[in-house]
Structure 1
Amino acid sequence: MEAVLIISNFPDQKTATLLAEALIEQRLAACVNVLSPCVSIYHWQGKIESAGEVPVLIKTRKQHYDRVEQLIKMMHPYELPEVIMVPITGGLPAYLQWIADTTPLSDSD
């Protein structure tokens, strides 16, 4: 089992929480951290923009990435949502096992 961390940002706490609940209910994530709001500064369509956002950290299996990405794109109001997958190359073995146990594979994975 390859564990991964998927990072995204949402425009508000409500949207971030709705995604987190959907991921947990569908067993696509073992844990989702909905963090405190932050300010993001970025280039968009030739201009420097600034927006308040809510970071989201999703702990799951690499095999679930495509389904997590689809759900983020479906639930996200942005034209181009941030979706970054970072491999977890180490960690407390019992915690990594908990991720595996909590996010079972389906027949289609």
Structure 2
Amino acid sequence: MTDIVIAQTTIDDEDRAKALARGAVESGLAACAHVDAPFTAFYRWQDKVETAQEWRISYKTTTDRLAELEAWVAGKHSYDVPEWITLPVTGGSDAYLSWVVEETSRN
């Protein structure tokens, strides 16, 4: 079976987060995407510690579609250096994992 991954990014606007989530699913790059409630982020940027409210988007996809998803998100993201982290899925129900593969194989 194709390897399944969860890819994550963050963004500072709820509507943009929803658009990034929906667009990736509509284009077949992710089987689904979750937008988490806003949280407070602390990070260092250009030698200053910054604070921002952000939304996390978690995409369920396959390793076969991961590079394309990353390029798609980067092209639509508003940050200079968007967070992009991938986590391997090491287990799950066969039915769910098969569904992720099926949904990301359509395009």
What is the number of equivalent residue pairs in this alignment?
106
Which residue of structure 2 aligns with residue 97 of structure 1? 98
- Residue equivalent to 1:42: 43
Give 1:91 shift. 1.1
| Distance in 2 between residues matched to 1:39 and 1:69, nearest whole Å | 24
Q: How is 1:17-36 mapped onto 2 (pairs within 5 angstroms)?
A: 17-36=18-37
Shift, 1:93, TM fit: 1.4
Secondary structure of the equivalent of 1:81?
coil
CA distance in 2, matches of 1:20, 1:47: 30
SS in 2 for 1:82: coil
C-alpha deviation, 1:25, in angstroms: 1.0
The match for 2:88 is 87
| Structure 2 unaligned residues grouped into runs of 5+ | none
Distance 1:71 1:86 in 2: 18
Deviations 1:65-103 (A, max 9, x none): 111111111111110000111111111111111101111
Residue in structure 2 matched with residue 54 of structure 1 by the alignment: 55
CA distance in structure 1 between the aligned counterparts of 2:26 and 2:12, rounded to whole angstroms? 22
Quick check: 2:31–2:60 contact (8 Å CA) kept in 1?
yes
SS of equivalent residue, structure 2 residue 78:
coil
Q: Quick one: distance in 1 between partners of 2:106 and 2:70?
A: 16
Q: CA RMSD in A?
A: 1.1
SS at structure 2 position matched to 1:97: helix
Report how far residue 48 of structure 1 moved. 0.8
Normalising by structure 2, we get a TM-score of 0.94
**CA distance in 2 between partners of 1:39 and 1:45 (Å):** 19
Cα distance in 2, alignment partners of residues 16 and 60 from structure 1: 17
